[in-house]
Amino acid sequence: MEAISKNFFLYLSNNKVLDRLAKRFGTNFGADKIVGGETISQAMPIIQKLNHEGLHVTVDHLGEFVASEEEARQRTEECMHSIQAIATHGAQSEVSLKLTSLGLDISRDIVIEHMHRILQEAAKYDITVTIDMEDSSRCGQTLDIYKELKAQYPNLGTVVQSYLYRSDQDLDELSPLDPYLRLVKGAYKESGKVAFPEKRLVDDNLKHLIKKNLLNGHYTAIASHDDAIIDFTKQLVQENNIPNDRFEFQMLYGMRNETQAQLAKEGYKVRVYLPYGEDWYGYFMRRLAERPANIAFALRGIFSK
Ligand SMILES: Cc1cc2nc3c(=O)[nH]c(=O)nc-3n(C[C@H](O)[C@H](O)[C@H](O)COP(=O)(O)OP(=O)(O)OC[C@H]3O[C@@H](n4cnc5c(N)ncnc54)[C@H](O)[C@@H]3O)c2cc1C
């Protein structure tokens, strides 16, 4: 049953008609519980509230299915605008982005040009930018672009997904760059040709990657809501005397709020991934796919309006 609902919501996440409808109706379908509004101005009070509670943030201007150069340029402007807003408000926030939203499916040159503009703006204010990882067909290109840009911009991170067979080798290849990596299980529908089909193996591989990256001395973001992963990390850092300023936990906005607060109280750095924007549909559907309990959560959101 769980597998069916997962596949169903991952299938819906790619539906462009529903995506258009969602844009028309706004975030009223329970999405506002996990999305920080449609503009950076709406997201800013949420960022400030999280900061006030001792939590760090990374904001992501939601955007997928970008098909024109003009749209990719607008997304670039929006990223730069969010960087300026973070700096103006003195907020504790990084920025996350997806290369497809900057034109990856149109041309590599366009993405590189847009990334230079964003990274130069971010460097002015010492704000870190993380490139989210999308589906496996874009993984190689994304990591190549990361490697090219990281040499020039130290404040650049990216994501490695433990469901992919290739990730162990990717960690080896990224290691000489002293990368800032967010390690996750992976959120897309992938075939058994490229990804572990069994959840147990995905979980084991995430533990393996966390251990390897931390013991290699690289700053690591552990992005998971899973207690088993969080407990594993706590034990690992204790056994290996890894100080708290060498890693952070990351969770999505609206997920496991009590755990986020508890970890911060215990002295761990916790970063909340806060998406905002009109294009919330694909993100929302992937979260429903991950956890059936989120469906009840979303339905309560709709009916309590
Ligand atoms: C900050 C952040 C950034 C991410 N960036 C990317 C990215 O760039 N690319 C990408 O592919 N994926 C990304 N992901 C998504 C990630 O790949 C997983 O799909 C997602 O985090 C679900 O896996 P999990 O480890 O959280 O727990 P799961 O494996 O989904 O769940 C394991 C257990 O954790 C507990 N749990 C999980 N969720 C909840 C909840 N909401 N409330 C209570 N308990 C819960 C339950 O006990 C559950 O059985 C990101 C995730 C986070 C947190």
**Each residue's pLDDT tens digit, 225-284:** 999 999 999 999 999 999 999 999 999 999 999 999 999 999 999 999 999 998 887 788
More reliable by pLDDT, 142 or 29 = 142
The pLDDT tens digits for 64-117 are 668 899 999 999 999 999 999 999 999 999 999 999 999 999 999 999 999 999
- pLDDT value for 15: 73
What is the average pLDDT across 38-54?
96
Which of 206, 226, 257 should be mutated for ligand 1, with most atoms under 8 A from CB? Answer: 226
Ligand 1 mean position to 199 CA, how many Å?
A: 12
Annotated binding site for substrate: 98, 286-287
Name all domains of the chain by residue range, CATH numbers in brackets. Answer: 1-35+281-305 (no CATH), 36-279 (3.20.20.220)
Annotated binding site: 98, 133, 161, 185-187, 199, 224-225, 286-287
More reliable by pLDDT, 297 or 290 = 290
What is the average pLDDT across 140-153?
97
- pLDDT value for 280: 81
> Does residue 79 have its Cβ closer than 6 Å to ligand 1?
no
Is the pLDDT assigned to residue 118 strictly greater than 60? yes
- pLDDT value for 30: 65
Decide if 270 contacts 263 (C-beta within 8 A): yes
Which of 204, 291, 295 should be mutated for ligand 1, with most atoms under 8 A from CB? Answer: 291
What is the average pLDDT across 184-203?
96
Residue nearest to atom 47 of ligand 1 (CA): 226
Is the pLDDT assigned to residue 53 strictly greater than 50? yes
Which residues are designated catalytic? 132, 182
Q: Which two tokens stand for residue 10?
A: 């991952």
What is the average pLDDT across 122-135?
97
- For 182-204, b where at least 16 C-beta lie within 10 A, e where not — what string? bbbbbbbbbeeeebbeeeeebbe
> Does residue 159 have its Cβ closer than 6 Å to ligand 1?
yes
